[in-house]
Structure 1
Amino acid sequence: MSKTTPATIALEKAGVAFTLFPYEYDPDAPRVGLQAAEALGRSPDQVFKTLMAEVDGKPVCVVVPSDCEVSMKKLAAAFNGKAANMMKPPDAERLTGFKVGGISPFGQRRKVPTAVDETAELFDEVLINGGQRGLLLGLRPGDAIRAAEAKLSDLTA
């Protein structure tokens, strides 16, 4: 597994400190984020998953705890939109340059508006995908929000 990805390069360029957390990725896991949390012995609410969605037809990036579901109503409101839906996996991969299961909010091929669930601030460190399957990055929530140029919002159902 490579320890250098577009996500780690973007964070290094931004001067953001992070720790690598490689784990054994299980492509058959029903919920990859929960599997990652279990593999690393971390609480699922501290391991955040990165999802790609659309608000009023425009792409957005959403970062929420791995044990939560995104509220489409709250997601639309976070971006001052009327309707939100999840992006189709092939579209998400084409837009970000990452494979589903390895999408990171950092170093995406095309920068899109990003929102991080407000619960991230409850932790000293959050784990977020590092740009490939089986690699999470540990970093301070404030650093993650700044590096992703994200807004903090209530996003979960």
Structure 2
Amino acid sequence: MAFNIAKDHLNHFNLGGRIQVFDVSSATVDLAAQAVGCEPAHIAKTLSFIVNGQPVLVVAAGDAKVDNRRYKDEFGTKAKMLTPQEAEDLVGHAVGGVCPFGVKPGVRVFLDQSLKRFEEVYPACGSANSAVRLSIPELELSSGCEKWVDVCKGWREQEQVKETA
């Protein structure tokens, strides 16, 4: 059901034809990268949080991790991820297929700066075995994002050096 809702949403932007459905799971960044045939960083993972009682989605590059300080500076609260049941109830998509397409009313969507390194990325499409190839402008438009945020770490060159040292 969630897949069809996401697909209908993308069809409004003439992007539904790019959806890929796999015979294998794409529920994690690594599985999605294997299924798509790309580097994990190019997977646009959608993280679901609760902010002041309202669901918030942050779409970030597959190699990025939430930076608690940056998140709190942006949203004014500690990062609290939704439980799998909350994600399904509040967002409309199950964990593994959470995406910014066809979400329930009131869900706020933000795109993280970590995505801007790429021309194209692959977010899920409402199921744990799907993805859609989108340019960054197409993702920006079709996701209905409120704005770009900078709440992730680990993707900048200087941060990668620190983490491996």
Q: Same fold per TM (> 0.5)? A: yes
Aligned partner of residue 59 in structure 1, secondary structure: strand
Q: What is the rounded CA distance, in whole Å, between the counterparts of 1:18 and 1:6 in structure 2?
A: 14
> In the TM superposition, what are the counterparts of 1:8-157 in structure 2 within 5 Å?
8-16=7-15, 19-23=18-22, 24-25=24-25, 32-79=28-75, 81-150=76-145, 151-157=147-153
Alpha-carbon displacement from aligned partner over 1:64-98 (angstroms, at most 9, x marks no partner): 1222221233233333x232211111011111221
- The structure richer in helix per residue is 2
Q: Which has the higher mean CA deviation after the structures are superposed, 138-147 or 4-13?
A: 4-13
RMSD, aligned CA:
2.2
Q: What is the rounded CA distance, in whole Å, between the counterparts of 1:156 and 1:9 in structure 2?
A: 30
Question: Is the CA contact 1:5–1:132 (under 8 Å) kept in the aligned structure 2?
Answer: no
Unaligned runs of 5+ in 1: none
Unaligned runs of 5+ in 2: 154-165
| Deviation beyond 6 Å, 4+ runs, structure 1 | none
Larger Rg computed on CA atoms:
2
> What TM-score comes out, normalization by structure 1 length?
0.83
Percent of pairs with identical residues = 28
From the superposition, tell whether residues 15 and 76 of structure 1 become closer, same or farther in structure 2 (CA, over 3 Å).
Answer: farther
- What is the match of residue 5 of structure 1? 4
Alpha-carbon displacement from aligned partner over 1:25-45 (angstroms, at most 9, x marks no partner): 067xxxx11121123220111
